[in-house]
Amino acid sequence: MKHLTKIAAAALPLALVAGVAEAHTAAAPGGGFVAGLSHPIFGADHLLAMVAVGLWAALLGGRATWLVPATFVGVMTVGGLLAVMAVGLPAVEVIILASVVALGCLVAARVKTSVVIAMAVVGAFALFHGHAHGMEMPVGASGLWYSAGFVLATTALHALGVSFGLLTGRTRDGLAIRAAGGAVAAAGLLLVAGV
């Protein structure tokens, strides 16, 4: 847990100094690392879903605390590779928005399930998040550096969710974590509505 918190603490300041516009430039400064780092942080749909994955992992506890986020990162990377290889997936943006609402609801309702089922759920969503990242890779970016950026940002967002979940999930019936899940779901609905 301390490693995840340190990763989040190190990555978030880097993400905050990266310009939003650099995530979608024609040429990729720094080999694409900054663009990869920026994409999950500055895309509200990605940011919300990734924090929610961490929140849900914390609620599930035990091995799920690290296996669920690790599954998301691994499958997301595969999704990014599929996009770079021009393998299409249907309804990518719709499923990404659905993931925000669904993951927020899972946290708000404090849904407990097996680690395997949780890994399957987040893995299914991660494939589409990764595909979107791959589709947004700037022209001329190094796939390796771009991937390293979005993997680091995703890991930091998961760590943020896990940290918040572990700190608040066991207090007063987890009211704070449930409220955070509800806020994620509500924000997802606003994104769906185009607000």
Q: Structural domain of residue 73, as residue ranges?
A: 32-193
Residue 20 is assigned to a structural domain of this protein: no
Residue 1 is assigned to a structural domain of this protein: no
Has residue 127 got a pLDDT over 60? Answer: yes
- Average pLDDT of the chain is 86
Length of the chain: 195
* C-alpha separations of 137 from 26, 27, 65 in Å: 9, 10, 29
Residue 25 is assigned to a structural domain of this protein: no
Separation CA 16–CA 99 (nearest Å): 24
Measure the CA dihedral 51/53/58/61, to 10°. -170
Q: Percentage of the chain surpassing pLDDT 70?
A: 82
Has residue 16 got a pLDDT over 60? Answer: no
Residue 4 is assigned to a structural domain of this protein: no
Residue 154 is assigned to a structural domain of this protein: yes
Residue 121 is assigned to a structural domain of this protein: yes
Task: Tell me what pLDDT residue 147 has.
Answer: 94
Residue 83 is assigned to a structural domain of this protein: yes
Task: Tell me what pLDDT residue 3 has.
Answer: 45
Between residues 51 and 140, which one has the greater pLDDT? 51
Q: How confident is the model at residue 174 (pLDDT cuts 50, 70, 90)?
A: confident
Stretch 58-85: mean pLDDT: 96
Stretch 14-42: mean pLDDT: 60
Residue type, 25: T
Has residue 175 got a pLDDT over 70? Answer: yes
Task: Tell me what pLDDT residue 170 has.
Answer: 66
Number of domains in the chain: 1
pTM reported for the whole predicted model = 0.84
Sign of CA dihedral 100, 101, 104, 110: negative
Residue 103 is assigned to a structural domain of this protein: yes
Has residue 18 got a pLDDT over 80? Answer: no
